[in-house]
Amino acid sequence: MDRQDLIVCRCEEVQLKQLEEAYLAGAHTAREIKMNTRASMGACQGRICRHLIDSFVHQQNSKAPYEAADHLSFRPPVRIMTFADLAEEG
């Protein structure tokens, strides 16, 4: 497997090469990369991949401290539902 084919965001199937393409196209913050690639917009809302995206941005711009990176936030579901609730709605 080529390094470029690594999946960074499993929910949206965003590959490392897509992050690099977005960065080269002018997306220089985690938020801009998110908007250009949909990374961290999937079902987990960035709980899995946001640290990878933050690290990628920091690697591209090593002059900026990691703590000052534009960290992405994640959002909880709109409301909590059980599987029983879902079964009743179907």
Q: Which residues contact 59 (CB under 8 A, 6 or more apart)?
A: none
Between residues 12 and 2, which one has the greater pLDDT?
12
For 28-84, how does the pLDDT look when each residue is reduced to its tens digit (9 = 90+)?
Answer: 888 899 999 999 998 888 888 988 998 898 899 877 555 544 556 656 666 777 888
What kind of fold does domain 3-89 have according to CATH? Arc Repressor Mutant, subunit A (1.10.10)
What is the helix, strand, coil percentage profile of the chain, to 5? 45, 5, 50
CB atoms inside a 10 Å sphere around CB 77: 8
Alpha-carbon distance 22 to 37, whole Å? 7
Alpha-carbon distance 75 to 34, whole Å? 14
Show me where the domains of the chain are located. 3-89
pLDDT in the model for residue 5: 87
* Cα end-to-end span (Å), the chain: 41
pLDDT in the model for residue 38: 94
